[in-house]
Amino acid sequence: MPEWLVVARREFIERVRTVWFVVVTVLGPLLMVGMLVVPAWLAVTTEERVIIQVVDRSGRNLFPSLSATARLLDAKWDLQSVSPQADEAMLLRRIRDEKINGYLVIPEGVLTSGSAIYRGDNATNFRVSVLLTQALNGAALQARAVDAGIPSASVANLLQPVVKVIARHDTGRGETTSGEASFLVGVVVFFLLYMAILFYAVNVMRSVLLEKTSRVVEIVVSAIKPRSLMLGKVMGVGCVGLLQLAIWGSIALLLVSFRAQILGLFGITGSSVTMPPLDAADVVVILAYFALGYFFYAAMYAAVGAMVNSDQEAQQLQTPLMLLLIMPALCIQLVANAPRGGVAQALTQIPFTSPMLMPMRYLLGGATWLEIAVSLAILLVSNAAAVIIAGRIYRVGILLYGKRPSLREVARWLRH
C-alpha cells in the first residue's frame, strides 16, 4: 500500500469511528426535514396581524381610499385612523408597549411633492414599505381624479389588480419551477459547500498543527516522506467529508422526490411552490465540486499549518485564505441575477470561486455541460499546482520550530 494511502486510511477511520461524526451525519437529515416541514407548517398555522395607525394631515381624508387600496393589494393589516393632531410621542409609546406595530404620517401637500413617513417595529420588512407606498399612491390617484372631475368609483375600478405575474424558472429545457424556490435551493447548496469546504480544510490545518506542536511529526517523517504525509491527510479528511456529503445529498434527493408524502405525514397538504427537480446528476456535480474545491483549499491550509507554531499564528496566517473563501459569498446575487451572464461565467471558471458558485449556477440552469467540463479541468490543474506548492512548503515548514518564516524564506522553499 502506498505511503499516502496508509495515512489517508488512518485519518479516514479515525474520524469516521468517532461519535461526533455519527451525530453530525444524523443531524443533517433531521435539519433537512425541519427545513422542509417547519416553514410549510408555519405558513398554514400562523397569520401575522399588523396594526398600523394612520395620521392623515393632508386635509383630503385619504384614509378610506388608503384602506381600500391596501385590501386590494392583499395587505393583511389592521389600519386604524387617528386624529391629525395625534402626538407622535404617544404613538411611539404605543409601539414600545407593543399595542401597535407602527404609524404612518401623511403630511400636508403629499399630493404634490410630499412624502409620507412610516415608523414601526417592522420597518425593516421590505414588503411593508412597498405595499404602503403602493396603497398611498392609489389613494393619491383617487384624490387627484376627484380634483380632475373623474368619479372616484371609476378610478377605484381601474386600480383593481387584474393581472398577477408568476415567475417561473425555465431554461428552455421544459422544466419550470418557482423562481424563489430555485434561488433558495441554489443558495442552500452554496452554503452547504462553503461550510463543508471551510470546515474540513481547517480540520486538516489543525491536524497538521497538532502533530507539529506535539513533535509527533518528527517520528512520522522518519518513516514516510513529508509530501506523502500531507497528501494522505488531505485525502483522508476529504473522504470523510465526501462520505458525509454523499449521505446528505442522497437523503436530500429522497426528500425532494417525496416532498408531498412527507408533508402529508405531518398533516400538511403542501404548498403551491414548485420545487426544482433534483436527480443523481445534480448530486454528482455537487460532490465533484466539493471534492476538488476541498482538495484545492485543504492543500493550502495544510501548508499554513506547517508554517506556524500555535493557534494564534494559524488564525493570522489563514486570513488571506478566508478572504478568498468570503469572495464567493459576496457574489451570490451576481450569479443568481444572471446565471448565463458574463460575470457569472467568469466567476464560475476561477478556481477560488467556482467550487461554490458553479453548482449553484448549474442548479439555476445557467451552465452548460461544456462550461462545467472546462471549469472542472481548470480546477484539476489548479489542484495539481496547489499540491506542488503546498508540498514544497510543507516538507520544510513541518520541521521548523521557533519562528514563523518570512515571505523571502517561503519563496526560497518554493524554488528548491
Each residue of 271-329: pLDDT tens digit? 545 555 667 788 888 889 988 998 899 888 988 888 888 888 888 888 888 888 889 88
Predicted confidence (pLDDT) at residue 179 exceeds the cutoff of 80: no
Cβ atoms within 10 A of the Cβ of 29, count? 16
Strands 77-82 and 50-56: parallel
Indicate the pTM of the whole model: 0.67
- Residue 173: predicted pLDDT: 47
Contact 50, 78 (CB under 8 A): yes
Backbone angles phi, psi at 77, to 5 degrees: -120, 155
Percent of the chain with pLDDT over 70: 87
Ordered by where they begin, the domains of the chain are: 3-41+176-415 (no CATH), 47-158 (3.40.190)
Asked whether residue 194 carries a pLDDT value surpassing 60, the answer given is yes
The mean predicted confidence, pLDDT, of the chain is 81
C-alpha grid cell for residue 163? 393581472
Cα–Cα distance, 212 to 310 (Å, whole number): 9
Contact status, residue 390 vs residue 303, Cβ threshold 8 Å: yes
Write the pLDDT tens digit of every residue in 127-157: 788 888 888 888 888 888 877 777 766 766 6
Summarize the confidence of residues 239-261 as an average pLDDT. 80
Q: Cell numbers 426528500 label which residue?
A: 255
- Residue 156: the pLDDT is 64
Q: 353 near 327, Cβ under 8 Å?
A: yes
Residue 150's identity, in one-letter code, is I
pLDDT band at 55 (very low <50, low <70, confident <90, very high): very high
Contact 283, 249 (CB under 8 A): yes
- Sheet containing 102-106: give its strands across: 77-82, 50-56, 102-106, 117-120
Looking at residue 161, its pLDDT comes to 59
User: Which distant-in-sequence residues (6+ apart) come within 8 Å of 281 by Cβ?
Assistant: none
In terms of pLDDT, which residue wins out, 58 or 161? Answer: 58
Q: Is the pLDDT of residue 40 over 80?
A: no
pLDDT band at 39 (very low <50, low <70, confident <90, very high): low
CB atoms within 10 A of CB 178: 19
Residues 6+ apart with CB under 8 A from 148: none
Model confidence at 250, pLDDT cuts 50, 70, 90, reads confident
Q: Compute and round to an integer the Cα radius of gyration of the chain.
A: 29
**Cα pseudo-dihedral 289, 290, 291, 297, rounded to 10:** 100
Dihedral sign from CA coordinates of 280, 283, 285, 288? negative
